[in-house]
Amino acid sequence: MALTDKQAKALRPDDKPVFDGKVTGLFLAPTKTGGKWTFRFTSLNTGKRRDAGLDTYPNTTIADARENALAMRRTLDAGDDPIDQRNSEREKAAVAAAALTFEKAAREVHTELKPGWKNAKHADQWINTLQAYVFPKLGAKKLYAITPADC
């Protein structure tokens, strides 16, 4: 039988995990703040049981958890381990983030800080100073490659 929202909301922290009847391996483990979605499968590489955490309930709805678990199931059917795949995607994202140029990183910081400044003039001054004095020298450099000697 498929897990319903009503059943999920009624779970107490000391209850046992409840498996979803629609997606094999998907279950909701109750916690004090709701629950934790987990997808349980057997790794094709090692033959061992693995649990992939999907997210928390109610942050992730039952439908979204099913969708995520089905995506992992498709990855398994393709012959890959979903946890290993997710970890490699995270590593690639970390490498890409580490490869940010100074200019791109500064512009991202500017975008994040801009709402906190009292007026638009301060935001303009901040980025204009960087454009005039810093970007010509350091803008194209990767963040990890900048040394004190560059400054």
Q: Structural domains in the chain?
A: 5-96 (3.30.160.390), 99-150 (no CATH)
Q: What are phi and psi of 21, to 5 degrees?
A: -80, -10
Strand partners, 50: 41
Q: Are 103 and 142 in contact (CB under 8 A)?
A: no
Tokens 């995990």: give the residue: 17
Closest CA to 8 of 53, 82, 74, 66: 66
Cis peptide upstream of residue 58 (ω within 30 degrees of 0): yes
Q: Inform me whether the pLDDT recorded for 4 exceeds 90.
A: no
Choose from 33-37, 115-119, 147-151 the range with maximum mean pLDDT.
33-37
> Which tokens in the block code for residue 75?
């990855």
Angle between helix 102-113 and 120-129 (nearest 10): 170
At 6-19, the pLDDT tens digits run 988 889 999 999 99
CA angle 17, 22, 25 (to 5 degrees): 50
Distance CA 127, CA 143 (A): 18
pLDDT at 43 over 80: yes
pLDDT tens digits along 62-92? 999 999 999 999 999 999 999 999 999 999 8
Would you say residue 101 has pLDDT above 80? yes
- Span 114-137, pLDDT tens digits: 998 888 898 999 999 999 999 999
Is 90 exceeded by the pLDDT of residue 50? yes
Q: Which residues contact 29 (CB under 8 A, 6 or more apart)?
A: 17, 35, 36, 38
C-alpha triplet 45, 46, 47: angle, nearest 5°: 105
What average pLDDT does the chain have? 91
pLDDT at 35 over 90: yes
